[in-house]
Amino acid sequence: MKISLLGGTGAFAEGLVIRWSQAGHDIFIGSRSEEKAQGITNDMLEKAKSVGIDANITGLVNAEAAKETEIVVVCLPHEHTSSTLEGIKDSFTNQIVISPVVPMKKEGDFFLFDQPPLGSAVAEIKAVLPDTVKIVSAYHNIPAKGLANLDKPLDYDVAICGDDEESKKVVKQLTEQMPNLRPIDAGPLQLSGMIESITPLIINMNIKHKHEFSIKFV
């Protein structure tokens, strides 16, 4: 499949780029700057080659990256997500848009969930994009560091929320292509805020224990 990552130059996108390249997908790294996108693309092609992955990665500005693909992953910081998507919304037709976006703030030494007025980051994304896109919420609880480390088995669960069964099935398959992530359908998009809210808890624990905790349902 063709997959674009908006803000694909950042920490979280790195693991998705390398793991979906390994699974044979065509990847488009989006950025505000074409030059930065191309620089990170070159770095990722090098990284892929060094571990024997024959990757197909292209660097573009966000608006062009989104247009190219059937899957768009929003890897932008929450505070810049709505404004960025607003600025490029003409690039969207009927793509599946995946949101791992977590709204959070730092108070003292700790991160807290910063619930948006609409209830979740994904509800804000839905409010900006055309009704024709299918939005799925996933990957909020996966630490970027573990995701980018191919030597690390990802023994985590991925709670997936969405209102369109077919697109949730596609995201489930994309998740299963990253060993050993286990996708679990967690219900409609309306429930995404609860999944998003777990991430600051995990980050605080990871900082405290210098570990890469995530979630697993047993």
Ligand X SMILES: NC(=O)c1ccc[n+]([C@@H]2O[C@H](COP(=O)([O-])OP(=O)(O)OC[C@H]3O[C@@H](n4cnc5c(N)ncnc54)[C@H](OP(=O)(O)O)[C@@H]3O)[C@@H](O)[C@H]2O)c1
Q: Does residue number 39 form part of the binding site for ligand X (CB under 6 A)?
A: no
Q: Nearest approach, Cβ of 104 to ligand X (angstroms)? A: 7
Q: Nearest approach, Cβ of 168 to ligand X (angstroms)? A: 18
Site string for ligand X, 143-182 (x = CB under 6 A): xx--------------------------------------
Q: Does residue number 11 form part of the binding site for ligand X (CB under 6 A)?
A: yes
Cα separation, 213 vs 207, whole angstroms: 10
Nearer to ligand X, 24 or 205 (CB): 205
Beta-bridge mates of residue 161: 137, 187
Q: Answer whether 99's CB lies under 8 Å from 121's CB.
A: yes
Q: Does residue number 140 form part of the binding site for ligand X (CB under 6 A)?
A: yes
By three-state DSSP, how is residue 97 classified?
Answer: strand
Q: Which stretch binds ligand X (CB under 6 A): 9-17, 111-119, 123-131, 172-180?
A: 9-17
Alpha helix (H) residue ranges in 23-132: 34-50, 62-68, 78-87, 121-128
Among 22, 82, 84, 95, binds ligand X (CB under 6 A): 84
Cα separation, 99 vs 120, whole angstroms: 11
